[in-house]
Structure 1
Amino acid sequence: MENFKMIAKTFFGFEEILAKELQILGAQDVEQGVRMVSFVGDKGFMYKANLSLRTALKILKPIYYFRATNEQGLYKGISGIDWSQYMNSNQTFVIDTTVHSDYFKHSQFVSQKSKDAIVDQFRNKTGARPSVDKDYPDLRINIHIDKDQISVALDTSGNSLHQRGYRTATNIAPINEVLAAGMLLLSGWDGQGHFLDPMCGSGTILAEAAMIACNIPANLNRKEFAFEKWKDWDNELFDQIIDSLMKKIKEFHYTIQGYDKAPSAVSKAKDNIRNANLDEYVSIAEKNFFDTEKTTQGPLHMVFNPPYGERLDIEMERFYKNIGDTLKQNYPGTNAWFITANLEALKFVGLKPSRKIKLFNGSLEARLVKYEMYEGSKRAKFAPPTS
């Protein structure tokens, strides 16, 4: 099978961990960009990347590059692709366009003009034409314009890869699955210890933590990928890839726990964990974090997504002070990480973060912060040994 270039799209701040994921998976020529990583692999690797990558939102397969500064040039460029290689006249397609250009102002106009070029090509050759289907197309085409540079790619994934397929029940503003997985990987979570999400909401961080710990492919529960409707779809190869990935699933010898004080959240989280077939690894209890203490021996890894005020009406100053007090008094031997878009509220935690990583939660600029809670005092930990 021949190799080709692909592009994995991701969130700002995840480029390095996505590149690392690709290297571990066996990609060639891995190069980081902004919110994307390019790489090279064959068709089997395209299937494997879609199934396995935790921090990718989409995987695109570029098929053509050209330059244009006006609508005639755009039409001519799109017409220069032999679209019968990728679909038949009785199939459906949709075009997603991103534009950063003074020559082309409106993505909708570019999509419309490109659609005309594709439809006209089929009509001229066969007398029949494919139609547009925005919801369930047979082929999803991605056009990216940067100044006069136009890149045409096939979307191999379809719906965004954060739609893993296990989450049917959600709370207010649930965390995106790719964001949750990226936070866990940035925090260094590798399944070698106990894990706690003390404000687990609908259980997304717990599910992603369990899949990382056991090396379960991120998108194993997903219903479909766009490439399954392609002309060169190879069902047998896809099944082989799944079998090989399933053989690499690891055993897990620690605990993954989730708390939430809302009964509705606990019930939804349990449903989602069950949907993901992860209930043997994850336990969830109705508890208010501020009334809890560490229950496991040895180091504890904690990652959570506290409410920001965007989501819930809470007294921010007291809430964040309670986070700091609970960690300090009740959770020795814990690496605690959480994300917040309320940068002001971090001052009230009353602890000095050892790391701050800039991320975005949707359109909100956020920080992923780390607090190291030592067994005994920090001073004692770093004191020189007495002779």
Structure 2
Amino acid sequence: MIAKTLFGFEEILAKELHQLGAQNIEIGTRMVSFVGDKGFMYKSNLALRTALKILKPIYNFRAFNEASLYKGIQGIDWSKYMNSNQTFVIDTTVHSDNFKHSQFVAQKCKDAIVDQFKEKFGSRPSIDKDYPDLRINIHIDRDQCSVSLDSSGASLHQRGYKTATNIAPINEVLAAGMLLLSGWDGSCDFMDPMCGSGTILAEAAMIACNIPPNINRKEFAFEKWNDWDNDLFDQIMDSLMKKVKEFHYTITGYDKAPSAVMKAKDNIRNANLDEYVKISERNFFDTEKENQGPLHMVFNPPYGERLDIHLERFYREVGDTLKQSYPNTNAWFITANLEALKFVGLKPSRKIKLFNGKLEARLVKYEMYAGSKRTKFQESNND
């Protein structure tokens, strides 16, 4: 099988797969391949935090032109996967000099499938782009054509808990990946000081409690497959829920916009996480750390792409607030405005290249010590 992901999350996704029990894990670009049975396919859709799709490859062949593409698709017995009164849709990704347009590839593959059904049964399945019974994925790389069944359906970042969004909401898979890259494991207090619609807070709580991220999804594509096993799915779900653990620290969210706070509270409630997450209407720049223990902070500040803010002053205030009011804190945030980082006035201890949508971004880490940095190093050397 193939798990698709965002750029920069391949290693984390491979680690997640290993922890779930996948076999023969191989890392690619924006994807990780692995081996597992039907139950593991169900489990990976439910439990992987950094996967966008789980694809099940069914056939590979070489396609040089329109004729060989058509013949290759007709080489698959499609009656094994659907019948003539069902619906399907084809998603295509093309990197080839032989085929210039993905829509053309999708059309030819559709023709090959439909023609096969008409020849065998005298009737044909229909196309349904919104709610198909079978979602087929065609990937052409030069002359290699891979045909897969999409077991997920809608992208796995659509967890099912987020009914209200704010301006420039962060993708749930991106939020989960940032948290895992930051080392968040639920072993201290957590804060998102600019929480927007609460995505980072929800993902942080699910990681801390080991709650499957897609437990709130209404459906997966594999539920419409001919070999759908409802009892097996329930078994997998029960086994995952038995591994949920208690969380003994605090998860706090701030936002200065009343509308954002309201949306965040709604989403956290939808995810059944309100016992773990507390959200307040506050301006981060007017706050200070509330206890002496370590604090893990991850947030998604405005980039200036969609919000009208004075970036230089804003990022300077971020740095000043961290430095003056948040000792003993590991602060991580993502920004696609690389110029703005200069105004923070602090040296990041890590920078990780990611993409937020099509925007190239950096996930940066600032370590705020309880005393001065020099004192911290002196204490360490003395020890």
If the length of structure 2 is used for normalisation, what is the TM-score?
0.99
CA distance in 1 between counterparts of 2:234 and 2:63 reads 41
Q: Secondary structure at the match of 1:39?
A: strand
Write out per-residue CA displacement over residues 264-323 of structure 1, whole angstroms, 9 at most, x where no aligned residue: 000000000000000000000000000000013310000000000012100000000000
Q: Secondary structure at the match of 2:106?
A: helix
CA distance in 2 between counterparts of 1:159 and 1:140 reads 10
Write out per-residue CA displacement over residues 90-125 of structure 1, whole angstroms, 9 at most, x where no aligned residue: 000000001000000111111001001101111111
Check the 8 A contact 1:194/1:296 in 2, yes or no.
no
Say which of 36, 45, 59 aligns to 2:40.
45
Identify the residue that residue 30 of structure 1 maps to in structure 2.
Answer: 25
Deviation at 1:235, TM superposition (A): 0.2
Identify the residue that residue 160 of structure 2 maps to in structure 1.
Answer: 165
Identify the residue that residue 304 of structure 1 maps to in structure 2.
Answer: 299
Identify the residue that residue 260 of structure 1 maps to in structure 2.
Answer: 255
CA distance in 2 between counterparts of 1:171 and 1:105 reads 37
Instruction: Give 2:37's aligned amino acid.
Output: D
User: Does residue 135 of the first structure (1) align with residue 122 of the second (2)?
Assistant: no
Q: Residues 276-295 of structure 1: matches in 2 within 5 Å?
A: 276-295=271-290
Write out per-residue CA displacement over residues 166-219 of structure 1, whole angstroms, 9 at most, x where no aligned residue: 000000110000000000000000000000000000000000000000000010
CA distance in 2 between counterparts of 1:27 and 1:328 reads 43
CA distance in 2 between counterparts of 1:72 and 1:358 reads 41
Deviation at 1:373, TM superposition (A): 0.1
Say which of 268, 274, 282 aligns to 1:273.
268
Say which of 228, 232, 235 aligns to 2:230.
235
Deviation at 1:9, TM superposition (A): 0.4
Identify the residue that residue 341 of structure 1 maps to in structure 2.
Answer: 336
After TM superposition, where is structure 1 displaced by more than 2 Å over at least 4 residues in a row?
Answer: 384-387
Identify the residue that residue 3 of structure 1 maps to in structure 2.
Answer: none
Identify the residue that residue 62 of structure 1 maps to in structure 2.
Answer: 57
Cα 1:113–1:386 change in 2 (3 A) is closer
User: Does residue 181 of the first structure (1) align with residue 176 of the second (2)?
Assistant: yes
Q: Secondary structure at the match of 2:319?
A: helix
Write out per-residue CA displacement over residues 42-75 of structure 1, whole angstroms, 9 at most, x where no aligned residue: 0000000000000000010000000011111000
Say which of 44, 57, 70 aligns to 1:75.
70
CA distance in 2 between counterparts of 1:275 and 1:258 reads 16
Q: Secondary structure at the match of 1:150?
A: strand
Q: Secondary structure at the match of 2:376?
A: helix
Q: Secondary structure at the match of 2:109?
A: helix
Q: Secondary structure at the match of 1:244?
A: helix
Identify the residue that residue 144 of structure 1 maps to in structure 2.
Answer: 139
CA distance in 2 between counterparts of 1:332 and 1:113 reads 61
Q: Residues 190-205 of structure 1: matches in 2 within 5 Å?
A: 190-205=185-200
CA distance in 2 between counterparts of 1:312 and 1:117 reads 48
How many aligned positions are there?
382
Instruction: Give 2:166's aligned amino acid.
Output: N
CA distance in 2 between counterparts of 1:317 and 1:209 reads 29
Instruction: Give 1:160's aligned amino acid.
Output: S
Q: Structure 1: 5+ residue runs without aligned partners?
A: 1-5
Sequence identity, in percent? 84
Say which of 94, 97, 122 aligns to 1:99.
94
Check the 8 A contact 1:207/1:278 in 2, yes or no.
yes
CA distance in 1 between counterparts of 2:148 and 2:168 reads 31
User: Does residue 14 of the first structure (1) align with residue 21 of the second (2)?
Assistant: no
Deviation at 1:335, TM superposition (A): 0.0
Q: Secondary structure at the match of 1:352?
A: coil
CA distance in 2 between counterparts of 1:312 and 1:122 reads 52
Identify the residue that residue 205 of structure 2 maps to in structure 1.
Answer: 210
Identify the residue that residue 155 of structure 1 maps to in structure 2.
Answer: 150
Alpha carbon RMSD of aligned pairs, Å? 0.8
Instruction: Give 2:71's aligned amino acid.
Output: K
Instruction: Give 2:65's aligned amino acid.
Output: N
CA distance in 1 between counterparts of 2:46 and 2:196 reads 25
User: Does residue 315 of the first structure (1) align with residue 318 of the second (2)?
Assistant: no
